[in-house]
Structure 1
């Protein structure tokens, strides 16, 4: 689809509407470059408010909390030409519907790779070494002193780590796992080049089922697509060892959360570290109550450096698009 100038007015008058608060330095730069409307209170917009913003903007800058479907795009009107998503994941946006309506979508890939991989290792350590339990005991003044058999966790060295999704983040996790002495296995839509496999010392499994049965830890690093929805369903979770640990920093929809909760409660799976959830911020109370689970509020990419770099990518995509060229991080339906 050819890209032409989005407006006849100067770039500085391009109307950009941002749905959530961004780092101050990014908001200031956007306000310098464009006619920018910022979010004053960081409140999640309602459906009607999102549609109103889409009607008024040349460029909308949403985040993962803003779900925009085909019906909303039908209501947007002719002005909106670019949705410059603040984030890499675009499963909250109907990319196909946008393409059909001449609305381009860009994202911010590669920015939070290292930050998210760090969080994967943090969750693995937190679950396997029972760090939250120890913290709660200390903060609650319940610690009675050291004992040879108290707070026993497991050593990471020698454990079999399975990585589901071996893109940028999966490979960054593999590099960290090697340092800790873990054995890396992976399942991916396409096998990696042999040189990359050798560099990561990673073993490819064509069969996800076979890999799940052999690993001690599974790290979910796959995007949410129709093909990955409940990829870890009840049947596949039952293939795992009772001593296994599930880590998810990708998208909650990849796991059947109800099945995972049941198995954690009955001891069929030893533990889980979750930074994302199937139903957003609505956490299953039974999952929240489990002592063998570490839950985080979507913190995988939450570093100052990462958030600023995400904003810089958004600005760059808007500037290039305003000059009549495709945004560098254009998202196409065929990429999903």
Structure 2
């Protein structure tokens, strides 16, 4: 018999097709679907397929006594209780590396869009305002002092791209790395030494609101924040207050605290660029992610080593 899998959110067509080819799939995209799936097949479900921003709720995991593996379509695993997974012997996998380039590309793209007013310029043309006058001046990107919070795979990819712009790079990480960039032990110290702060760290209980009012104040009225990590790392209320009061120069955000709901206040600022958590959203990368999710599930059920285990 084919293993039974609980799919907790919509996934790419390629991944959903791959799951359907291999497994008996039960959908649990909302509370009603999950209750129905658990009532029908909870005792038989052996795997969960999910996304990084969804993970697996504790009550769902508890209702799956035969759960063996949680396969995440994404790099983040902060929505999975890893300690409980270890206790139960449940494997957890993600899709690192394959999305590094796209996320790093978008981080730099967001910075350029913000500094060079690409969104405002597009609107200026589309709304027919150009004949009445030019758009105001933007700010230069090249040569900026850029700080990166989290110098893992993605953070390092961002740093290498920014080097091509002549950026002076500093970083904050759990520990120093063997890189030619200035190291700061705290986000506050990093913010005080840069004009651009890019958030690329993993989300966890320890990093929740690590970008707080004090960090934003250190970044200052000419500084900008770019976030391609997780919304939970930034205190959105403090960010909105800093933007409203002119204590921060701008922000470019791909992630938010309560996705897909974005505070209306953020939408009102002309010095803010917003994208819908799309950093890895290219056809090539989403296919590679799908392939890796399926490879992890195939390996697990074949008794082979997992390609990208977290736990």
Q: TM-score range by the shorter chain?
A: over 0.9
1:90 aligns with 2:82: no
What's the C-alpha RMSD, in Å, of the aligned pairs?
A: 2.1
Residues 280 and 29 (structure 1), Cα distance of their counterparts in 2 relative to 1, 3 Å cut: closer
Among 53, 62, 65, the alignment partner of 1:74 is 62
C-alpha deviation, 1:275, in angstroms? 0.3
Q: Deviations over 1:23-55 (max 9, x none)?
A: 3333333333x224276xxx9422761783572
* Structure-1 residue corresponding to 2:233: 254
Give the distance between the partners of 1:275 and 1:219, measured in 2 at CA. 11
* Structure-2 residue corresponding to 1:182: 167
Give the distance between the partners of 1:50 and 1:158, measured in 2 at CA. 54
Give the distance between the partners of 2:26 and 2:106, measured in 1 at CA. 29
Give the distance between the partners of 2:75 and 2:55, measured in 1 at CA. 14
Relative to the length of structure 2, the TM-score reads 0.92
Query: Does the CA contact (< 8 Å) of 1:219 and 1:248 recur in 2?
Result: yes
Among 251, 256, 262, the alignment partner of 1:277 is 256
1:263 aligns with 2:242: yes
Q: Post-superposition, which runs of at least 4 consecutive aligned residues in structure 1 deviate over 6 A? A: none
* Structure-2 residue corresponding to 1:3: none
Q: Deviations over 1:57-109 (max 9, x none)?
A: 22110113435233332222x22211111111011111212222232211111
Residues 266 and 295 (structure 1), Cα distance of their counterparts in 2 relative to 1, 3 Å cut: same
* Structure-2 residue corresponding to 1:5: none
* Structure-2 residue corresponding to 1:234: 213
* Structure-1 residue corresponding to 2:45: 57
Residues 75 and 48 (structure 1), Cα distance of their counterparts in 2 relative to 1, 3 Å cut: farther
Give the distance between the partners of 1:69 and 1:45, measured in 2 at CA. 12
| Unaligned ranges ≥5, structure 1 | 1-8
Query: Does the CA contact (< 8 Å) of 2:73 and 2:293 recur in 1?
Result: yes
C-alpha deviation, 1:205, in angstroms? 1.7
* Structure-1 residue corresponding to 2:25: 37
Among 122, 128, 153, the alignment partner of 2:109 is 122
Number of residue pairs aligned between Structure 1 and Structure 2: 308
Among 199, 211, 223, the alignment partner of 2:202 is 223
1:14 aligns with 2:27: no
* Structure-2 residue corresponding to 1:136: 123
Residues 231 and 153 (structure 1), Cα distance of their counterparts in 2 relative to 1, 3 Å cut: same
C-alpha deviation, 1:22, in angstroms? 3.3
Give the distance between the partners of 1:306 and 1:132, measured in 2 at CA. 25
Give the distance between the partners of 1:292 and 1:88, measured in 2 at CA. 29
* Structure-2 residue corresponding to 1:25: 14
1:167 aligns with 2:155: no
C-alpha deviation, 1:127, in angstroms? 0.7
Give the distance between the partners of 2:200 and 2:102, measured in 1 at CA. 13
| Unaligned ranges ≥5, structure 2 | none
